Amino acid sequence: MIEVEFQILIRKNGKLFLRSSTVKLLREIERRGSLRIAAQELAYSYQHTWDIVNEINRIASQPVVIKQRGGIRGGGAKLSAYGHRLLDEFNSIERTVQTFSKKMNAEINF
């Protein structure tokens, strides 16, 4: 069985900004309110998640993820309003691509 799949890449000024794997992390941060727990859920190292988050914040030139220090559990993290908007927009693109992909897979003739 032959299938077409589409990977979504979002570039900002030519630089890779968001892709499925980074968006997966943003979703997990939103859900868990913690970078450490998000990292555990995705089986990423804590350092790796920090690197991804710092890179996203740097390219965005405004915070996407806001780190919250202290508190009872410590090390919390949440999405900024801009981060939420990015996630909503990516989710919307993903839904459109899924519809497009279904249509495409019905039409291909390999």
CB of 51 to its own copies, least distance (A): 22
102 touches its own copies (CB under 8 A): no
81 touches its own copies (CB under 8 A): no
Per CB under 8 A, which region of 7-15, 28-36, 46-54, 70-78 contacts its own copies? 7-15
Q: Single out the residue of 11, 2, 64 nearest to residue 35, CA to CA.
A: 64
Contact (Cβ atoms closer than 8 angstroms) between residue 97 and residue 23: no
Rounded CA-CA distance 72/68 in Å is 11
Contact (Cβ atoms closer than 8 angstroms) between residue 107 and residue 10: no
46 touches its own copies (CB under 8 A): no
**Interface contacts to its own copies, rule CB under 8 A:** 1-13, 17, 85-86, 89, 93, 96-97, 100, 104, 108-110
